[in-house]
C-alpha cells in the first residue's frame, strides 16, 4: 500500500493543537510483526530498565539511539514515517534522536507525570523545540483503562515550563500545569494497534498507571532536524540524517531484533543526561 504525505489540513491541525493522530498509519501485519518481535526479544529485555513514578510504581522502557537494519530501525526509517515528520517539522534534514519501547505491564505499569519532552531535551542543550517531535506508534490497544496518553490540547503554545524531579522522572512545574488544566482541553489519546500519534516537544502530556489486566505497549520515536545541534548531547544520531528506506521494507525484510551492539541508553545515563 502506498502512503501519501500528510495534507496541509493535517499540518495545520498539528500546528494548532500540538498533536496529530493518524489512524492505521501502520497496518495489522506490520504491527503483529513488531509486537511479536518485541515481546520475544531477549536483547530488548536485557537492556530494559524501570523508572519509578511518584508512588513507586515502575514503568519499563528500552531506549536506543541509532536506528539500524533491524525491524524497529526499518520502521523508524520508512518514507512514511520520515515523510510525515518532515511535513510536520518543515525544512531541514530529518534525524532520529532515539526510540524507546514502552512496556506498560498490566497492574504494575507506572504513571508518567505531566511533562513536556522538551523539558528533558532542553537540558541536553537543544535550542529549537519546534525542530523536535515525538511519534508514538501503538503496538497494543491504548485505552483509559490501561493508562493511555493524555495531552493538553494547544499547550505547546505556552513554551517550555520548568521541570523538576518527580520520582525518577522529570515533571513540569505543577502550578503552571494546574493553570494549563483550567485553560486547555484534556484529551485521552485512545489508540488501536497501528494508530500513530505525532506530538510537539512542548506539548504537555502524562499517563496514569496501568491498573487493567491488559498490557499497553508502544514504540515512541523522537526526531530532530539536523540544524538543531545540541551542545550537551554526546550521541550524534540526533544530527545524522536518517537513511530512508521504502515503506515495504518492514514486511519485505527478514524479521530482525535489535543487535546487541546497538547504542542503548543505560539507566544511570538517563538520570544524569535527562535524555528519556
Ligand X SMILES: O=C(O)CCC(=O)C(=O)O
Residue numbers of the site for ligand X (CB under 6 A)?
Answer: 102, 104, 112, 117, 149, 205, 207, 218, 220
Closest CB 252 distance from ligand X, rounded Å: 29
> Are 187 and 153 a contacting pair, CB within 8 Å?
yes
User: Which one-letter DSSP state was computed for residue 109?
Assistant: B
Closest CB 4 distance from ligand X, rounded Å: 28
Closest CB 243 distance from ligand X, rounded Å: 25
Residue nearest to ligand X (CB): 207
Closest CB 40 distance from ligand X, rounded Å: 21
Closest CB 1 distance from ligand X, rounded Å: 27
**Cβ closest to ligand X, residue 62 vs residue 218:** 218
> How far apart (Å, rounded) are the C-alpha atoms in residues 233 and 208?
29
Report helix, strand or coil for 38: helix
User: Any idea which residue has 500540538 for its cell?
Assistant: 18
**Cβ closest to ligand X, residue 86 vs residue 169:** 169
**Cβ closest to ligand X, residue 77 vs residue 104:** 104
**Cβ closest to ligand X, residue 17 vs residue 117:** 117
**Cβ closest to ligand X, residue 172 vs residue 225:** 172
> Are 198 and 14 a contacting pair, CB within 8 Å?
yes
User: Any idea which residue has 511535513 for its cell?
Assistant: 87
Output phi, psi for 270, to 5 deg: -55, -45
Amino acid at each position: 500500500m502506498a502512503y501519501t504525505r500528510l495534507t496541509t489540513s493535517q499540518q495545520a491541525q498539528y500546528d494548532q493543537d500540538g498533536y496529530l493522530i493518524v489512524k492505521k498509519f501502520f497496518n495489522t501485519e506490520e504491527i503483529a510483526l513488531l509486537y511479536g518481535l518485541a515481546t520475544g526479544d531477549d536483547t530488548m529485555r536485557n537492556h530494559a530498565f524501570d523508572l519509578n513514578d511518584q508512588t513507586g510504581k515502575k514503568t519499563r522502557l528500552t531506549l536506543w539511539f541509532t536506528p539500524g537494519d533491524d525491524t524497529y530501525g526499518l520502521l523508524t526509517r520508512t518514507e512514511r514515517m520520515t515523510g510525515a515528520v518532515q511535513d510536520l517539522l518543515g525544512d531541514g534534514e530529518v534525524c532520529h534522536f532515539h526510540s524507546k519501547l514502552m512496556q506498560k505491564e498490566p497492574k504494575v505499569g507506572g504513571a508518567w507525570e505531566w511533562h513536556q519532552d522538551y523539558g528533558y531535551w532542553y537540558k541536553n542543550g537543544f535550542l529549537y523545540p519546534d525542530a523536535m517531535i515525538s511519534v508514538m506508534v501503538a503496538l497494543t490497544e491504548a485505552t483509559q483503562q490501561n493508562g493511555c496518553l493524555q495531552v493538553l490540547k494547544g499547550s505547546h503554545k505556552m513554551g517550555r515550563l520548568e521541570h523538576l524531579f518527580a520520582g525518577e522522572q522529570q515533571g513540569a512545574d505543577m502550578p503552571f500545569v494546574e493553570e494549563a488544566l483550567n485553560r486547555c482541553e484534556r484529551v485521552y489519546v485512545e489508540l488501536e494497534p497501528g494508530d500513530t500519534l505525532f506530538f510537539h516537544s512542548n506539548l504537555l502530556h502524562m499517563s496514569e498507571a496501568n491498573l487493567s489486566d491488559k498490557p499497553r505497549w508502544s514504540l515512541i520515536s523522537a526526531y530532530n532536524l539536523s540544524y538543531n545541534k545540541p551542545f550537551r548531547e554526546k550521541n550524534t544520531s540526533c544530527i545524522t540524517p536518517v537513511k530512508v528506506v521504502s515503506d515495504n521494507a518492514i514486511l519485505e525484510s527478514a524479521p530482525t531484533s535489535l543487535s546487541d551492539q546497538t547504542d542503548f541508553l543505560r539507566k544511570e545515563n538517563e538520570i544524569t543526561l535527562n535524555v528519556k
